[in-house]
Amino acid sequence: MVQLNPYLGFRDTAREAMTFYASVLGGEPTFSTFADFGMSDDPAEADKVMHSQLQLPGGGVLMAADTPTSMPLPAESSVTVSLSGGPEESEHLHQVFARLAEGGTNVMPLDKAPWGDEFGMCTDRFGTGWMVNVAGAPAD
């Protein structure tokens, strides 16, 4: 079975971001540094995260890494992470959306969408875009 897993890139905040995502989404992140694999010629970057992984309790994996200063890191990304569930996850998804939006930008409040679901978009304090959809949301 092939799996599709988001892999987020940061300059030097992967550890902080993944720890935050674990506090919001659950699970326990793992971290490997550039020094762990002898991949750093620059002592200032030895403790940067070469790979981090967060196994989500409901399934799926979120991954992230820091980008060495010798490599380009796009200022903006067109990638957005999507979270979705049914009405039974509505309360949880509303809580997750609120936590992700804290310190970030609430682009579109999580509310009734024209197609009948609840939908919202935000950019978190680390610059990651999130879309949250509650399918089959109960009618008002």
Q: Per residue in 51-64, pLDDT tens? A: 999 999 988 999 99
At what angle are helices 14-25 and 90-101 packed, to 10 degrees? Answer: 150
The 8-class DSSP code of residue 43 comes to: G
Q: What is the pLDDT of residue 137?
A: 54
CATH 3.10.180.10 fits 7-66, yes or no: yes
Mean pLDDT value across residues 24-28 = 97
Q: Tell me the pTM.
A: 0.91
* Main-chain dihedrals φ then ψ at residue 98, nearest 5 degrees: -60, -45
In this model, does residue 29 exceed pLDDT 90? yes
Q: What top-level class would CATH report for the domain 80-134?
A: alpha beta
**Boundaries of CATH 3.10.180.10 in the chain?**
7-66
Q: How many helices (H) and strands (E) does the chain have?
A: 2, 8
- For 36, 46, 111, the CA distances from 74, given in Å and listed in that order, are 26, 22, 31
Q: Which of the four pLDDT bands, split at 50, 70 and 90, describes residue 8?
A: very high
In this model, does residue 25 exceed pLDDT 90? yes
Q: What is the pLDDT of residue 85?
A: 95
**Boundaries of CATH 3.30.720.110 in the chain?**
80-134
